[in-house]
Structures are given as C-alpha cells and as structure tokens.
Amino acid sequence: MARSTARPVVTLRSTAGTGVTYVTRKNRLHDPDRLVLRKYDPVVGGHVAFREER
C-alpha cells in the first residue's frame, strides 16, 4: 500500500540543543505549520519542546 502525501514523516529535534530527535507522522491538512511537541529528552533528563525540522 502506498503512503499518503497528506501524512508525511517529520523529524522532531530538541530545542535544548542536545541533538536528540524523534520521528513521527503528521497530517499536513490539519497541521500545515511546523509541529511543536513536548517530549522527553534523555540528555536533559526532562521534558522539553521538540520542533519539526524540514
């Protein structure tokens, strides 16, 4: 089955500057802007904002 272009794979990079990344999918129709999620950063030892990379 082919992947939809409406739900691309995006990389989330930590805003703390540690280089930690997460990979997820997003719905481009509902979230056209860059995605920002609060996730766990193991280097920092806590939750920080992760911003979508292009």
pLDDT of 1 over the 80 cut: no
> pTM of this prediction?
0.85
- What pLDDT band is residue 54 in, cutting at 50, 70 and 90? confident
Helix, strand, coil proportions of the chain in percent (round to 5)? 0, 45, 55
Which pLDDT belongs to residue 2? Answer: 75
Residues 22-36: pLDDT tens digits? 999 999 999 899 999
Residues in the chain: 54
* Rounded CA separation 11/1 (Å): 22
